[in-house]
Chains A and B, each alone.
Chain A
């Protein structure tokens, strides 16, 4: 028997509406009733959590770990280490690998690999369509049996509404939520930056807000038609927030997530053509940022995530429109959200940030995580909400360095990550 006791921390467990200073006990990898402390037959590991927040292990349901196929960008091992360093005990990896995660054997490979090398829980998602092509359904039932917890064509978007409709209907049968990267290919064209003042000024092809909103609207219609949950990934525009807010008010099974870069940066950042500001969807206008903050504040946008998208330096060190989209985020996202949402804008309290990283994704994905209920997995994150720190790209655990946040001074970060009762990372 192994036991760990975390003493004197402020335990915040939104799933149980708990927020109090108590000790937390983990026995044999599971959360135990603290009263069992007196009956332990051996000395437990003691962790002093005075002045710290003790919360369920955080979940990032939108990361790219790049394996199989792109291990020069990231591996399951390095990506899991980055997750741990960011305070995450569970990540959901996207299926745009090579080969794409559109078949049970690739899923099995990812699970085996994760079991062997990952220090956090790595959950696979499966592709909606074969080879992410948007035309034929992937074997969604077999993927469910192989262990995916969601389907998505992230990085791509099923353009044919009929194909998407059937995918949602089919996913409902097997109980998998559908995650969608919302991008209308015709409206977006070869757009690389938000269509607006800066795209006009710099002559860069514009990616209009309507290109996202058209697909958010489509998803609302299909979620209603199929009576099944569709989750809109990385929402960026004021229009999308409005559409999702209205649909949720009507009881439609639709939800949306937000990435830290979309609330901390605007399209103004692209003016020097630095490819670390190139992401998909792109950085938007201040109006959009304000709408995202409101959407987070009123619960329209219910999940926080990173869209951790590692790329090697040589891939990003090219012309702006030739560079791949995306930035890494696992090791900065909690700090950015705490700093911006809680400290700077005072939009939500820290308990809500934790809820958006724990109970919200856990419920959507129907996974056994995101709570400190007795008997739950002993995944715990210790957060110092007031710790001031400076982002140092060189010290990232990720195999890549494509972050625009180097040098940023942030307030709040994870200081210890515990997976199954075992500390996998500590500051």
Chain B
């Protein structure tokens, strides 16, 4: 087990070792406890400035990072795509350099382009934390998923985890795949063949297009949000057929083992990828994920922001 943290940036889980992932999860244990104190705030990042730089809309991830930063006593600025000068034609690099000139210490970046956080991390002194880049990675989401599984099941190794839905376009899926495999879980991806191409098997996971075969084996099912927007029209015929083939309906939920955890990164489409009653059922840990997200993000900000740069 690594006993030290040395990275200024968190760009993805692919680049982390199993020890580093466990290190973050253990640190999150400590920060989860802060949430039970009378004063839910520690001075760890007092005097540091964190910029939530969201070039793609997101309320929950931004809010979670913002609250995590508040609890670490950092000062927080929120910049979204509509208020940033990116819309005026300024490049990402120039905007980021401007933020650095204002002595921002930590940049939390959400961006529609894969690799944008790495691009900035290579060019800035500030710590860069990836809050989701294109279809690439969403490391803090995967870390909070891992944390929740570990908290509920006591371990991750050997567990069978099914990730269900639009895998191809999902950064949550990729970060989960990298993290789960490093910690020894067995991962099965489930969804239509267009959204779960066979090439994923090369990453070391199984691919299935038959959800009813997968559910009875699973220790965890992680459902991804399904949308049928303009750019998805060619990938599957429609929501109705999706529910018929892949939706976690009440009837299908009966196939699950009683201790199987049901997870969802949110926001949930009730009645689409998951039936409303199932989302609110006893096996659902969807709200635990939200709570744990705060602890995990505090840990990540503390670790990356606490490193001398």
Q: Do A and B bind each other?
A: yes
- The reply to whether B136 and A204 form a contact with Cβ atoms under 8 Å apart is yes
User: Which of chain B's residues have a CB closer than 8 A to the CB of A319?
Assistant: 92, 111, 113, 115-116, 119
- The reply to whether A318 and B137 form a contact with Cβ atoms under 8 Å apart is no
Interface membership of B22, Cβ < 8 A: no
CB distance from A219 to the nearest CB of B (A): 26
User: Which of chain B's residues have a CB closer than 8 A to the CB of A318?
Assistant: 91-93, 119
User: Which of chain B's residues have a CB closer than 8 A to the CB of A320?
Assistant: 113-116, 119
User: Which of chain B's residues have a CB closer than 8 A to the CB of A321?
Assistant: 113-114, 134
- CB contacts under 8 Å to A, within B21-45, are none
- CB contacts under 8 Å to B, within A148-162, are none
A interface size (C-beta, 8 A): 16
Interface membership of B233, Cβ < 8 A: no
| Contact string against A for B residues 80-97, beta-carbon threshold 8 Å, 1 for contact and 0 otherwise | 000000000001110000
Interface membership of B199, Cβ < 8 A: yes
Majority SS at the chain A contact face: helix
Known: A319-B115, A320-B113. A202 touches B197 (CB 8 A): no
- The reply to whether A197 and B91 form a contact with Cβ atoms under 8 Å apart is no
Interface membership of A272, Cβ < 8 A: yes
User: Which of chain A's residues have a CB closer than 8 A to the CB of B118?
Assistant: 272-273
- The reply to whether B199 and A197 form a contact with Cβ atoms under 8 Å apart is yes
Interface membership of B218, Cβ < 8 A: no
- The reply to whether A202 and B136 form a contact with Cβ atoms under 8 Å apart is yes
- CB contacts under 8 Å to A, within B112-145, are 113-116, 118-119, 134-137
User: Which of chain B's residues have a CB closer than 8 A to the CB of A197?
Assistant: 199, 202
- The reply to whether B114 and A204 form a contact with Cβ atoms under 8 Å apart is yes
- The reply to whether A273 and B114 form a contact with Cβ atoms under 8 Å apart is yes
Interface membership of B101, Cβ < 8 A: no
Interface membership of A173, Cβ < 8 A: no
- CB contacts under 8 Å to B, within A181-212, are 196-197, 200-204
- The reply to whether A203 and B174 form a contact with Cβ atoms under 8 Å apart is yes
- The reply to whether B114 and A196 form a contact with Cβ atoms under 8 Å apart is no
Report how far A203 CA is from B136 CA in the complex, Å: 4
- The reply to whether B134 and A203 form a contact with Cβ atoms under 8 Å apart is yes
| Contact string against A for B residues 198-242, beta-carbon threshold 8 Å, 1 for contact and 0 otherwise | 011011000000000000000000000000000000000000000
Interface membership of B186, Cβ < 8 A: no
Interface residues on B, range: 20 to 34
Report how far A106 CA is from B303 CA in the complex, Å: 59
Interchain CB contact (< 8 A) of A204 among B91, B92, B134, B202 = B134
- The reply to whether A200 and B197 form a contact with Cβ atoms under 8 Å apart is yes
- The reply to whether A203 and B171 form a contact with Cβ atoms under 8 Å apart is yes
- The reply to whether A203 and B202 form a contact with Cβ atoms under 8 Å apart is no
- The reply to whether A322 and B199 form a contact with Cβ atoms under 8 Å apart is no
| Contact string against A for B residues 171-189, beta-carbon threshold 8 Å, 1 for contact and 0 otherwise | 1001000000000000000
CB nearest neighbor in B for A192: B114
User: Which of chain B's residues have a CB closer than 8 A to the CB of A273?
Assistant: 114-115, 118-119
Report how far A204 CA is from B118 CA in the complex, Å: 14
CB distance from A402 to the nearest CB of B (A): 15
User: Which of chain B's residues have a CB closer than 8 A to the CB of A201?
Assistant: 14, 174, 203
CB nearest neighbor in B for A203: B135
- CB contacts under 8 Å to B, within A306-331, are 314, 317-322
- The reply to whether B114 and A200 form a contact with Cβ atoms under 8 Å apart is no
CB nearest neighbor in B for A195: B199
User: Which of chain B's residues have a CB closer than 8 A to the CB of A317?
Assistant: 91, 93
Looking at A202, A203, A317, the one whose CB has the most chain B CB atoms below 10 A away is A203
Report how far A196 CA is from B199 CA in the complex, Å: 7
User: Which of chain A's residues have a CB closer than 8 A to the CB of B202?
Assistant: 197, 200
Report how far A303 CA is from B158 CA in the complex, Å: 54
CB nearest neighbor in B for A272: B118
Report how far A317 CA is from B118 CA in the complex, Å: 12
| Contact string against A for B residues 151-193, beta-carbon threshold 8 Å, 1 for contact and 0 otherwise | 0000000000000000001010010000000000000000000
CB nearest neighbor in A for B167: A200
Report how far A394 CA is from B210 CA in the complex, Å: 56
| Contact string against B for A residues 239-273, beta-carbon threshold 8 Å, 1 for contact and 0 otherwise | 00000000000000000000000000000000011
Report how far A197 CA is from B14 CA in the complex, Å: 14
- The reply to whether B91 and A202 form a contact with Cβ atoms under 8 Å apart is no
User: Which of chain A's residues have a CB closer than 8 A to the CB of B203?
Assistant: 200-201
Report how far A301 CA is from B181 CA in the complex, Å: 42
| Contact string against B for A residues 104-116, beta-carbon threshold 8 Å, 1 for contact and 0 otherwise | 0000000000000
CB nearest neighbor in B for A199: B199
Report how far A317 CA is from B116 CA in the complex, Å: 11
CB distance from A79 to the nearest CB of B (A): 25
Report how far A314 CA is from B89 CA in the complex, Å: 13
CB nearest neighbor in B for A200: B199
CB distance from A197 to the nearest CB of B (A): 5
Report how far A273 CA is from B114 CA in the complex, Å: 8
CB nearest neighbor in A for B134: A203
User: Which of chain A's residues have a CB closer than 8 A to the CB of B197?
Assistant: 200
- The reply to whether B113 and A322 form a contact with Cβ atoms under 8 Å apart is yes
CB distance from B96 to the nearest CB of A (A): 11
CB distance from B255 to the nearest CB of A (A): 29
Interchain CB contact (< 8 A) of B115 among A196, A200, A202, A314 = A202
Report how far A352 CA is from B114 CA in the complex, Å: 41
Report how far A204 CA is from B14 CA in the complex, Å: 15
Q: List 30 A-B contacts (CB under 8 A).
A: A196-B199, A197-B199, A200-B199, A200-B200, A200-B202, A200-B203, A201-B14, A202-B136, A203-B134, A203-B135, A203-B136, A203-B137, A203-B174, A204-B114, A204-B134, A272-B115, A273-B118, A314-B91, A317-B91, A317-B93, A318-B92, A318-B93, A318-B119, A319-B92, A319-B113, A319-B115, A319-B119, A320-B114, A320-B115, A320-B116
Give the 5 A-B residue pairs with the shortest CB-CB distance, closest first: A273-B115, A203-B135, A319-B113, A203-B136, A320-B115
Which A residues are within 8 Å of any B CB, using their own CB? 196-197, 200-204, 272-273, 314, 317-322
> Contacts A197-B199, A319-B111, A322-B113 given; 9 further ones with Cβ under 8 A?
A197-B202, A200-B199, A203-B174, A204-B136, A273-B114, A317-B93, A319-B119, A320-B114, A320-B119
